[in-house]
A = this chain, B = another copy of it.
Amino acid sequence: MIVLTIEEILKEVLNEIKPSKEDMEKLQLKANEIIDKIWEIVRENSYPILEVLLVGSSARNTNLKDDYDIDIFVLFDKSVSEDELEEIGLKIGTEAIKRLNGSYNINYASHPYVNGEVDGYEVDIVPCYKIDFGEKIISAVDRTPLHHKFLISRLNERLCDEVRLLKAFLKSLGLYGSDVKTKGFSGYLCELLILHYGSFINLLKEAQNWRIGKKIILKDIFEIYKDVDINKLKKFDEPFIVYDPVDLNRNVASPLSKDNFCRFIFYSRQFLKNPSIEFFKDYAKKLEEILENREHGYRLILKIPRENVVDDIIYPQMEKLQKSINKVIVKNEFVILNSKCFADDNYCYLYWEFLVYELPKIALREGPPVFEKERAERFLKKYGKVFIRDCKLFAYTEREYSHIIDLFKDIVNGNLQNISIPKYVNPRNGKIIELNSHGEHKQFNKECQ
């Protein structure tokens, strides 16, 4: 076996993940073509457009091989009304794609925008207001051109490759993406981190010692905002805080979950200790396979038909429902080994693994110390049959649910009041599926992260 140095590993990785020069040139040509078309339409109609800007990772040369999205922002003057901006924005977008023989949809972020396909490239044409550093934004997308301008003047060829390495590392670990499903690192966050630490390896070295509440303030911030006072910066109660140089009231790392922050720390350490190209090759999936290749407890899935809403809505609701059900499970003294949820196009899957599925009818309740007169009296009144152990009152009672499936049946039947039911994930439409040790639903485990 040939043992590679970290440098050799990173070189090999970069070779695999970096788009070719030709592909990037082609993309650039196509982007220019679209931008030209947009200006053509703007001129024809005398639309109040100040700028047309190619943004995103492909524009900044920090994209991975499989990411050739063309993101074009059409910048309006602030004097234009929001209705007008929307209307003209859509007109420009649809017309440009039509003229290039592409196809398109209307999507919605803070306002509608055009998402289309032109010659195999995915193209977004997004209208927004032109804002300067320090100015208040009008709609959330107004920040994007500023992000782009901030980065493009600071990233060089080497840094761009370092960003790519970081993205590939995170992607392999299942930590890349700021959507509600992934709760990981956004592309912009990757770019800021590389800018701050200078290189991928340097970032990993520093990350090893991070703690919950780690704060990063880029030195560029002090250049942009002359009299910024560190002590007066907005406080965030989040595991990782990276101040957005474009808007100091925004934490770029806000979507990152605590556990994903911890995973990044842990695997940074592991990679530096035992550098291997494996860390860049679906590492999380392989880990999961290793973890699931084991004896299991009793497993159960609640399968609920999916309503026609996006992941951004369905995932938080699934998690909320599962959390609420978990509380009831724990209250009924069943021990959860693992719980997670997952949605495909048609169904939501809430998954549990239990230590045991059946408990005896008898349950033990721990009461107050005998010394606390009133509480002891109330406990005695409630349970009747008490006894004393370790100076506390105890009582035997009958358990409400002996088998975990009876509890789930009551959830599905709507007989349980203590469960908060989200709008789009209603367990009353659910079906309970028991998994056998090496059964039909094994595939589920790999997907349901």
Binding site for B on A (CB under 8 A): 208, 210-212, 258-259, 262-263, 265-266, 269-270, 287, 290-291, 294-298, 333, 337, 355-356, 358-362, 364, 369-371, 373, 376, 380, 385, 387-391, 393, 396, 398
Q: Check A396–B360 contact: CB distance below 8 A.
A: no
Listed by A's residue number, 11 A-B pairs whose Cβ atoms lie within 8 Å are A210-B371, A259-B388, A259-B390, A259-B391, A262-B391, A266-B388, A269-B376, A295-B362, A295-B398, A297-B362, A355-B359
In the complex, given contacts A259-B388, A337-B362, A356-B359, what are 7 additional A-B residue pairs having Cβ atoms less than 8 angstroms apart? A208-B373, A259-B391, A262-B370, A265-B370, A295-B361, A333-B355, A355-B359
Task: Decide yes or no: A337 and B364 within 8 Å by CB, A212-B391, A262-B370 being known contacts.
Answer: yes
Q: Check B266–A296 contact: CB distance below 8 A.
A: no
Q: Which residue of B lies closest to A399 (CB)?
A: B295
Question: Which 7 pairs show the lowest CB-CB distances between chains A and B?
Answer: A295-B361, A295-B362, A297-B360, A262-B370, A266-B370, A262-B391, A262-B388
Chain B residues lying within 8 Å of A362, measured Cβ to Cβ, are: 294-297, 337
Nearest-neighbour CB distance to chain B for A207, whole angstroms, equals 11
Q: Which residue of B lies closest to A337 (CB)?
A: B364
Interface SS, A side:
mixed
Chain B residues lying within 8 Å of A269, measured Cβ to Cβ, are: 373, 376
Task: Decide yes or no: A385 and B291 within 8 Å by CB, A360-B356, A391-B259 being known contacts.
Answer: yes
Chain B residues lying within 8 Å of A291, measured Cβ to Cβ, are: 385, 387, 396
Q: Which residue of B lies closest to A396 (CB)?
A: B294
Query: In the complex, A269 Cα to B390 Cα: how many Å?
Result: 18
Query: In the complex, A396 Cα to B398 Cα: how many Å?
Result: 32
Q: Check B371–A265 contact: CB distance below 8 A.
A: yes
Q: How many copies does the complex hold?
A: 2
Nearest-neighbour CB distance to chain B for A398, whole angstroms, equals 7
Q: Check B258–A391 contact: CB distance below 8 A.
A: yes
Chain B residues lying within 8 Å of A396, measured Cβ to Cβ, are: 291, 294
Question: When the two chains form the complex, which single residue of B210, B360, B371, B387 contacts A355, counting CB atoms closer than 8 Å?
Answer: B360
Chain B residues lying within 8 Å of A296, measured Cβ to Cβ, are: 360, 362
Nearest-neighbour CB distance to chain B for A390, whole angstroms, equals 7
Chain B residues lying within 8 Å of A398, measured Cβ to Cβ, are: 295
Query: In the complex, A356 Cα to B135 Cα: how many Å?
Result: 64
Query: In the complex, A322 Cα to B355 Cα: how many Å?
Result: 26
Q: Check B290–A385 contact: CB distance below 8 A.
A: yes
Q: Which residue of B lies closest to A358 (CB)?
A: B356
Q: Check B287–A387 contact: CB distance below 8 A.
A: yes
Chain B residues lying within 8 Å of A298, measured Cβ to Cβ, are: 360
Chain B residues lying within 8 Å of A297, measured Cβ to Cβ, are: 360, 362
Chain B residues lying within 8 Å of A371, measured Cβ to Cβ, are: 210-212, 262, 265
Q: Check B295–A360 contact: CB distance below 8 A.
A: yes
Query: In the complex, A370 Cα to B239 Cα: how many Å?
Result: 13
Query: In the complex, A296 Cα to B373 Cα: how many Å?
Result: 29
Q: Which residue of B lies closest to A393 (CB)?
A: B266
Interface centre among A355, A369, A373 (most CB of B within 10 A): A355
Nearest-neighbour CB distance to chain B for A395, whole angstroms, equals 9
Task: Decide yes or no: A294 and B370 within 8 Å by CB, A259-B391, A355-B359, A362-B337 being known contacts.
Answer: no
Nearest-neighbour CB distance to chain B for A335, whole angstroms, equals 9
Q: Which residue of B lies closest to A354 (CB)?
A: B360
Query: In the complex, A296 Cα to B360 Cα: how many Å?
Result: 7
Chain B residues lying within 8 Å of A364, measured Cβ to Cβ, are: 337, 355
Q: Which residue of B lies closest to A294 (CB)?
A: B396
Chain B residues lying within 8 Å of A376, measured Cβ to Cβ, are: 266, 269
Chain B residues lying within 8 Å of A270, measured Cβ to Cβ, are: 380
Interface centre among A211, A266, A297 (most CB of B within 10 A): A266
Interface centre among A258, A371, A389, A393 (most CB of B within 10 A): A371
Query: In the complex, A291 Cα to B386 Cα: how many Å?
Result: 8
Nearest-neighbour CB distance to chain B for A208, whole angstroms, equals 7
Q: Which residue of B lies closest to A269 (CB)?
A: B373
Query: In the complex, A269 Cα to B259 Cα: how many Å?
Result: 51
